[in-house]
Amino acid sequence: MSLAKEGIRLNHSVEVMRFTLIYDGSLPAQSAHDSRVAEKQAIRRQLHEQLLNLWQSKPVLIHHYKSWLRMSKEQQDGAITNPGHFTVPFDRGAFRFIPLVTNRFKLVCELDILFLRAEPPGRLFTTNTGGDLDNRLKVLFDALRVPKGDNELPSTAVPGPDESPLFCLLENDDLITAVRLESERLYGTPTPKDRVRLVIKVTVKAQEYSHATLDIGNH
């Protein structure tokens, strides 16, 4: 490893945290005519509560978050460009998003996804009643990240009582370095036909160690 001025650059990424997210709901395929903006935001909102609980359960994360909450609005805005803040907010439409995995701290993540759907096992890469899998995963990956612009949010969407800020997994989906997918049948009577249950195991890795990332996964 070599010492960089912003931290310790690692020859290989090192795991710093592992946790699991669950999504249960509609996952339609994206198309040229429908980018599924509303569905992506619905996924973000479902995962937000789990990610908020994660931030609240890790001493280092809750320390950074509480410190950020004590700031004035101007100081919070300044955190976007201040390299010393781990809590990095992004304003999109009426929402303020806080991602866990960011470029600033050289974090990346790997995803292991158990994809439960109302189809027989297999047929991963064929179009089925729920839609083309590649374009369904595109919707999921977009929902895991901060919207790139206001146009990636429903025009009438506003934060709920516990959604200021709204936590998401990624600053952008370029930070996903590996995806492993296993498909199984979702039993019962799923409604609508594109309903899924996803068990998403997330492994966060650091490409560079710094004071901000060294202990984020500690209990």
pTM: 0.86
Higher pLDDT, 137 or 123: 137
Q: Which amino acid is at 35?
A: S
Tell me how crowded residue 97 is: count the other CB atoms within 10 A of its CB: 22
100 in any annotated domain: yes
5 in any annotated domain: no
Determine which of 16-25, 53-62, 101-110, 186-195 has the lowest per-residue pLDDT on average: 186-195
Domain coverage including residue 175: 13-190+198-209
219 in any annotated domain: no
What total of structural domains would you count in the chain?
Answer: 1
Is residue 16 within a helix (H) or strand (E), and if so which, with residue range? strand 7-26
216 in any annotated domain: no
117 in any annotated domain: yes
41 in any annotated domain: yes
Average pLDDT, the chain: 85
Cβ atoms of 21 and 200 within 8 Å: the answer is yes
214 in any annotated domain: no
pLDDT in tens, 1-39: 333 345 666 667 888 899 999 999 999 998 888 889 999
Side by side, the strands of the sheet bearing 2-4 are 2-4, 7-26, 195-209, 107-117, 176-185
8 in any annotated domain: no
Higher pLDDT, 138 or 78: 138
Per DSSP bridges, beta strands 95-101 and 90-92 are antiparallel
Distances (CA, A) of 51 to 80, 101, 110, 128: 20, 12, 16, 31
Side by side, the strands of the sheet bearing 166-170 are 90-92, 95-101, 166-170
